[in-house]
Structure 1
């Protein structure tokens, strides 16, 4: 891994915006079209319930995120959430070639979600968060390079 770091967030402009879960890259997964990875991730918190469809149809990714915080989570959420996120990312970046090209163009750089309010998916307020989204994108980038 090089010492280069590529930071992104939902407010990122330009080509790197596609790394954000809020980017407007729809995909088909589980027989449905999802407007963004944020919609998919938040909706799967309520898989099989009416709330799943409510979140999928949210007008914006921010609205999907808000709705994802209002209903009761499925009991296995903590065990399945990273896999669900990877499923969404894999679908997004394999079905949207422009986004795939941008992800591959990051080379060997470390990818960091510059989310000050999220120390799990992002780097958090002090830059020492888990950065799980960045790690998944690096893992996916390596998979795509091997294709």
Structure 2
């Protein structure tokens, strides 16, 4: 079975899910916020990302930041690090582990074929699903905390 919709019971899988994430000394309200901040070295642009708690706004702001020159080389590892940090939270760890061995597929209709799989008629679900694969990797790596 596959989990393809990161909403409802599975909204915790979304990068928009509210949870504190620390990145280079600042605490962001979601993985999305921290990820967008990681796109730039400009401290003022990063602070702008902290000014609004809405992850959709952070995503829009992140599209306009001065992109760091190595972004394409580092973005996957940054996402992995942020997602791993998110699931160090005991409750979120338990929820992720409860997904068992299900495939995690970030289906979308906004043509994101790098982090997910767009299922629109143009794309036909041919995406790489890197976010889903990162979630599965993190799930495989985490263990229940020992009492």
Q: Which residue of 1 aligns with 2:94?
A: 101
Q: 2:11 aligned with 1:13, yes or no? A: no
Q: 1:32 to 1:71 in 2, by over 3 A?
A: closer
Q: Is the CA contact (8 Å cut-off) linking 2:42 and 2:66 kept in structure 1?
A: no
**Higher helix proportion, which one?**
1
Match of 1:130 in 2: 128
CA distance in 1, matches of 2:66, 2:41: 11
Which whole-Å CA distance do the structure 2 matches of 1:71 and 1:88 have between them?
Answer: 19
Aligned-residue offset at 1:119: 0.8
User: Is 1:74 equivalent to 2:72 in the alignment?
Assistant: no
Q: Deviations over 1:17-37 (max 9, x none)?
A: 110000011133432211000
Cα RMSD (Å): 1.6
Q: Number of aligned pairs?
A: 140
Gaps of 5+ in 2: none
128, 140, 143: which one pairs with 1:142? 140
Segments of structure 1 that go 5 or more residues without pairing to the other structure are: none
CA contact (8 A) 1:23 1:36 kept: yes
TM-score (norm 1): 0.88
State the distance in 1 between where 2:87 and 2:56 align. 20
Q: Which has the higher contact order (CA 8 A, sep 6+)?
A: 1
CA drift of 1:146 comes to 8.2
